[in-house]
Amino acid sequence: MIKVGIIGATGYAGNELVRLLIGHKEAEVKWLGSKSYVDKPYSSVYQNMFKLVDDACKDDNLPMLADEVDVIFTATPQGYLGGILTEEILSKAKVIDLSADYRIKDVATYEAWYGITHASPQFIEEAVYGLCEINRDKVKKARLVANPGCYPTCSFLSVYPLVKEGIIDPNTIIIDAKSGTSGAGRGAKVDNLFCEVNESIKAYGVATHRHTPEIEEQISYAAGKKVMINFTPHLVPMNRGILVTAYATMIKKLGYDEIKSIYDKYYNDEFFVRVLNMDVCPQTKWVEGSNFVDVNFKVDERTGRVIMMGALDNVVKGAAGQAIQNMNLMFGLPETTGLEAAPMFP
């Protein structure tokens, strides 16, 4: 059994790690770290875990934790792990970081977009960007995985095949993303109250959202050159789910069949990426609770653009599920272990 510690277990992503690991036959949670709820029974913070989790929350003590477990998930605010990670910790336990601290290779870019001075840039190079479908082999050997952001996972997997194959001009990519409210976290803010979110939709972080450079970096690798895009997130009155609608101008004017075969080439062997049938648009509901990403596309011959779409559950494939997928790879388990659940509908 893999012994697991979670730092930040009382956020939504932390609770989802607990939920998924309860169903994971090769892992067990040994440490539920939470700055805000130390000594409180975990199931009093998340009543869904009543009778399923008996432990109380513990302090967010990373060095002590590294002695006791095989892998540590950090579902913590930006800058937290960067501020305390050491070689000693990494020599004792593998670390999967759900924050952005090690996602961006260029430390200046990280510091500019996040407004944080990176306290441990020496680990950035080693950290593997844990988008399993792209970096599977590197993840298997990693000590430190930077678990991708929810928006970047959905955005990148939606456009990746056509960028990689040079079908679209990557600098024309516009990503219009829509997210459920769990992405905003469990902090008590007026903006996230039921009555403020319900029955409304808005854009936020327009031209300034921190996931922009993360998406750009990954697209740049695929394109083989530096790329700048537009990324606009929106808040949708639902709990879970991210939908990405991406637009780009085609360099090569291809038809449906040709583009479909490109998507199939990249994703046919990927269990968690489902290329939908012609004209079926991804819906967040169809992947709810699962680790799937549904993608599809539409060619607009009139304008010469292709519209690429993707949907995932932000708390699963966009956070906890992908983190466990990374853990499976790091520990030599079948990649789907504990992630086999079918999406729940309705």
| Cβ count near 268 (within 10 Å) | 10
Question: Could you say which of 284, 291, 314, 322 contacts a second copy (CB under 8 A)?
Answer: 284
Q: Which two tokens stand for residue 167?
A: 């079908």
Q: Are strands 230-235 and 202-203 parallel, antiparallel or unpaired?
A: antiparallel
Q: Which is nearer to a second copy, 50 or 258 (CB)?
A: 50
In DSSP notation, 222-257 reads HHTS----EEEEEE-SSSS-EEEEEEEEBSS---HH
143 belongs to the binding site for a second copy (CB under 8 A): no
Residue 81, exposed/middle/buried by CB under 10 A (0-12, 13-18, 19+)?
A: buried
201 belongs to the binding site for a second copy (CB under 8 A): yes
Q: Show contacts with a second copy in window 151-190 (CB under 8 A).
A: 174, 176, 178, 180-182, 186-190
Encoded amino acid at 178, one letter: K
| Contacts of residue 20, Cβ cutoff 8 Å, sequence gap at least 6 | 316, 320, 321, 324, 338, 339
- Rounded to the nearest 5 degrees, what angle is found at the Cα of 101, between the Cα atoms of 236 and 86? 145
Three-class DSSP category at 186: coil
Contact region with a second copy (CB under 8 A), list: 81-89, 100-108, 150-158, 282-290? 282-290
Question: Could you say which of 228, 252, 261, 265 contacts a second copy (CB under 8 A)?
Answer: 228
Question: Could you say which of 202, 226, 253, 265 contacts a second copy (CB under 8 A)?
Answer: 202
199 belongs to the binding site for a second copy (CB under 8 A): yes
Question: Could you say which of 7, 9, 11, 15 contacts a second copy (CB under 8 A)?
Answer: 15
Q: Which is nearer to a second copy, 309 or 330 (CB)?
A: 309
Given 150, 154, 195, 281, the catalytic residue:
150
Task: With residue 29 as reference, give the H or E element that holds it.
Answer: strand 27-33
207 belongs to the binding site for a second copy (CB under 8 A): yes
336 belongs to the binding site for a second copy (CB under 8 A): no
Is residue 72 within 8 Å of 65, Cβ to Cβ? yes
Q: Which is nearer to a second copy, 20 or 144 (CB)?
A: 20
Question: Could you say which of 117, 281, 334, 336 contacts a second copy (CB under 8 A)?
Answer: 281
Q: In what order do the strands lie in the sheet with 2-7?
A: 27-33, 2-7, 71-74, 94-97, 144-146, 128-129
293 belongs to the binding site for a second copy (CB under 8 A): no
Encoded amino acid at 325, one letter: Q
Question: Could you say which of 140, 143, 298, 331 contacts a second copy (CB under 8 A)?
Answer: 298
Task: With residue 89 as reference, give the H or E element that holds it.
Answer: helix 87-92
**Min separation Cβ 181 and a second copy, Å:** 4
Q: Which is nearer to a second copy, 12 or 102 (CB)?
A: 12
Q: Which is nearer to a second copy, 54 or 87 (CB)?
A: 54
Q: Which is nearer to a second copy, 67 or 300 (CB)?
A: 300
Contact region with a second copy (CB under 8 A), list: 17-25, 89-97, 142-150, 151-159? 17-25
| Contacts of residue 114, Cβ cutoff 8 Å, sequence gap at least 6 | 78, 79, 100, 210
154 in active site: no
342 belongs to the binding site for a second copy (CB under 8 A): yes
Total residues at the site for a second copy (CB under 8 A)?
85
Report the C-alpha gap between 104 and 87 in whole angstroms: 19
Q: Which residues are catalytic?
A: 150
